[in-house]
Amino acid sequence: MHDEDLLQFLDDAEPGPPPAVEPRESWRILIVDDDEEIHRATTFALRGVRLFDRGLRFDSAFSAAQAREMMAAHRYSCVLLDVVMEADDAGLELVGYIRDTLADRAVRIILRTGQPGYAPELDVVQRYDINDYKAKSELTSTRLITTLASALRSYEQIRTIEANRRGLEEIIGAASNLLAVQAVGRFSSGVLIQICSLLQTPDDGVVCVQSAVAGAGPARVLAGSGRFAAFRGLPVEEVGHSQLVADVERVLARRESFFAADRAALYIRSPRGEALCVHITTRKQLSDLDRKLLELFSINIAVGFDNAHLFEALEDLAYWDRLTRLPNRAAFEREIERRGAEDARFSLVVADIDNFQAVNDGLGHEIGDRTLQAAGAIMRAVFGQQSFIARISADTFALLHEGEQADLEARLRELARRLEHNIEIDGNEIPLSMSLGIARFPQHGAEPSVVFRNAGIALKQAKRVSRSSFQFFDDGLERALQRRLQTIRELRYSVERQCLKLFYQPQVTLASGEVFGVEALVRWQRSAQELVPPLSFIPAAEDSGLIVAMGEWILREACRQQQLWTRQTGRRLRMAVNVSMRQLKDPDFVPMLRGVLQETSVDPSMLELEVTESLMMEDTLGLSRVLQQVREMGTGVAIDDFGTGYSSLSHLQRLPIDRLKIDRAFITGLTERAEDQVIAALVINMGHLLHLRVIAEGVETPAQREQLLQMGCDDAQGYLFGRPMPAEDLAAKLLL
């Protein structure tokens, strides 16, 4: 024997007392004759006779009609049949019924007649597949036993041939069905069912596997049936059946199968090297035919087991996120379609980690990955196993919850509570917060895909309103989305149709009041009567990507205007232009900026790009690289809306910037609110510590100007010095 053999046999039985084995069933014989004396004589002549280690059991029918009923209800090995009964050809008609109507080709028929020569013997035997044709006077006890033995031997051979054919058909059919099974557990259960069917034994067995990897642990149960059905996934030692455990351990240790009087244990080695043991309770001694059929079947088990492993691996790659071990987007979309088809009622939640990019870039991908794992674990802990949770993109999760809305809201509040405190990863305190959008099926969409989209709309609204919050979808959000889409459609051709206008707001030195620069502010001339401010269309332009083309036009137009003022007035003004994250992430941004500067002949030092503080926090590393290239050209960089984000002194030290711009929200209440005064003073001091100039926006009153001067603020812009205005108006009022 060789280790690589898929199936090996060992015929020695288990030691110890012999188990209870079912005795071999007696041969069942039907006597059909209208003479009651024939019945008594036949049974008397064959009393106590055993043929081929089996006894004889007799049933009696006294007419062909009665025999039909009995043969329809029972299977017989042999029929001792009188030719002439209620009719001259009653016996022959019964033969036709057996062969044609019942389609029983196995049962052996011995015709007996009291009228020799009544029917041509050769013709009857050939036509009706009759085992023998004898006159009753010929059938002495010895001849009757001999004739019956010959008939029963033929019956056993025919049944063996039938069993071979049926077994092969079952093997072919089972192999075909099992190879279509794509999960190891279901495949193993199918193996048990098919083997028990093949052997015609009770469905009572277990499939165990031992990994090909050395030291990988004890054999575990892949599938069980009958009394072993509840042990799937457990180590075989925990099954609690000492005989079965001993059998499995023996087979796996010796790498060979064995057959006992009441059970069989097969050793199968899969092509990938894993050792399988299939243990079946047979309650009978298996025949040579049974063993040969098992041998054929087992080859398919080995190959099919590996196929199921492969399918599971492919399923894992296709539908599971390897980092968090949660279902992925494909699995999530499949699940919502399934639930939608079943008309289930559920809430769909989309959750996005706030400022994840800052964590990933600032602390590295390893810390970022562990942050995602922590987020997934927290969601599982809050929403439980009854919710379907998936990771659907880099830092976005989604879940399906079938509870009531009140229960969902309670869990959402619990999630927010758990995220109030930082999580610690390798000594790093990570501020983990999530924004969530929720939509209900079918209230918020007749199709699950629509509900998914609407949950995403609610998520965007949550991020706009207040990060680390949740927002339920409603019709108002849908209408706002439609307006946004309409705005995007109209904006698409705004540059080509010259619908964009630049206004300019002066920037002054606080101490002298001298204008040293301007900020370019875009307006959209939507119609002859409607001039749209930037807050009404810039977010839509950023979402759609139109901001890249619009931003290039704004930059080129602002530089062109600066050069025009210089030629007209001789004054050089620093031009401040806002840029968005979408523009800075565009790989052509730096080449585009360099080309605009060369095309317009603007001194790079007279241009300043403004980036909001919140954008700086989202992508510190990537943004810093781009802004460093901008500064290497000689162009300045300012942080806009400073004070609304989370920048620290150490964070600012790493950024390539020249100026801080205090957000107008802290200037409005500067003379009335102590909190605004403290924040403004902190920003100014922080900027000066880093040798940065500080400019305040939104200055509208002399009192605010005076307060900023006392705090040491360098520059300012606001209505006190001039509103945003067209280029010609600014030149006329301030430059000429």
- pLDDT for the residue 669: 87
Over residues 526-530, mean pLDDT: 84
- pLDDT for the residue 12: 36
- pLDDT for the residue 649: 61
pLDDT at 642 over 80: no
- pLDDT for the residue 685: 92
Burial zone of 74 (CB within 10 Å; 0-12 exposed, 13-18 middle, 19+ buried): exposed
**Model's pTM, two decimal places?**
0.49
Q: Which residue has the higher pLDDT, 620 or 65?
A: 65
CA angle 297, 299, 300 (to 5 degrees): 70
Least confident of 92-101, 562-571, 627-636: 92-101
- pLDDT for the residue 252: 86
Least confident of 135-139, 660-664, 665-669: 135-139
pLDDT in tens, 85-130: 878 778 888 888 888 888 888 888 988 876 655 554 556 666 667 8
Least confident of 359-373, 582-596, 618-632: 618-632
Could you tell me which residues come within 8 angstroms of residue 326 by beta carbon, excluding any fewer than 6 positions away? 320, 376, 389, 390, 391, 397
**Could you give the 3-state DSSP secondary structure of residue 457?**
helix
Over residues 247-251, mean pLDDT: 86
- pLDDT for the residue 699: 95
Q: How confident is residue 9, by pLDDT bands cut at 50, 70 and 90? A: very low
- pLDDT for the residue 675: 85
In whole angstroms, give the CA distance from residue 568 to residue 312: 74
Q: Which domains does the chain have, with CATH numbers?
A: 27-162 (3.40.50.2300), 180-318 (3.30.450.40), 322-473 (3.30.70.270), 488-735 (3.20.20.450)
- pLDDT for the residue 534: 84
Over residues 525-530, mean pLDDT: 85
Q: How far is CA 732 from the centre of its chain?
A: 65
Instruction: Confirm if 401 and 433 have CB atoms less than 8 A apart.
Output: no
Q: What is the torsion angle, in degrees rounded to the nearest 10, for the CA atoms of residue 120, residue 125, residue 131 and residue 137?
A: 0
DSSP state of 241: -
DSSP state of 557: H
- pLDDT for the residue 423: 87
Q: How confident is residue 458, by pLDDT bands cut at 50, 70 and 90? A: very high
Instruction: Confirm if 713 and 731 have CB atoms less than 8 A apart.
Output: no
Helices (H), 320-447: 329-341, 356-363, 365-383, 405-418
pLDDT at 418 over 60: yes
pLDDT at 360 over 60: yes
Instruction: Confirm if 182 and 310 have CB atoms less than 8 A apart.
Output: no
Could you tell me which residues come within 8 angstroms of residue 127 by beta carbon, excluding any fewer than 6 positions away? none
Least confident of 173-187, 227-241, 557-571: 173-187
- pLDDT for the residue 6: 34
pLDDT at 369 over 80: yes
- pLDDT for the residue 125: 61
- pLDDT for the residue 4: 38
Most confident of 80-94, 184-198, 680-694: 680-694
Closest CA to 129 of 96, 162, 102, 160: 96
Over residues 622-632, mean pLDDT: 87
470 φψ region: left (φ > 0), alpha (ψ -120 to 50), beta (else): beta
- pLDDT for the residue 295: 72
Q: What is the CA radius of gyration of the chain?
A: 45
Instruction: Confirm if 560 and 583 have CB atoms less than 8 A apart.
Output: no
- pLDDT for the residue 248: 85
Over residues 414-431, mean pLDDT: 87
In Å, what is the CA distance from 332 to each residue of 6, 111, 268, 383, 434? 40, 71, 37, 16, 19
- pLDDT for the residue 173: 47
- pLDDT for the residue 11: 37
pLDDT in tens, 28-43: 999 999 888 889 888 8
How much is the mean pLDDT over the chain? 81
Over residues 48-69, mean pLDDT: 89
Over residues 359-367, mean pLDDT: 81
pLDDT at 648 over 60: no
pLDDT in tens, 317-351: 778 888 998 999 988 998 999 998 888 899 999 99
- pLDDT for the residue 186: 66
pLDDT in tens, 386-395: 899 999 998 9
In whole angstroms, give the CA distance from residue 326 to residue 332: 10
DSSP state of 548: H
pLDDT at 564 over 90: yes
- pLDDT for the residue 143: 84
Over residues 454-473, mean pLDDT: 86
pLDDT at 285 over 70: yes
- CA torsion through residues 641, 643, 649, 650, sign: negative
Q: How confident is residue 17, by pLDDT bands cut at 50, 70 and 90? A: very low
Q: How confident is residue 228, by pLDDT bands cut at 50, 70 and 90? A: confident
- pLDDT for the residue 640: 86
Side-chain half-sphere CA neighbours of 295 within 13 A: 15
Percentage with pLDDT > 70 across the chain:
81
Most confident of 152-166, 536-550, 591-605: 591-605
pLDDT at 2 over 50: no
- pLDDT for the residue 25: 79
- pLDDT for the residue 192: 66
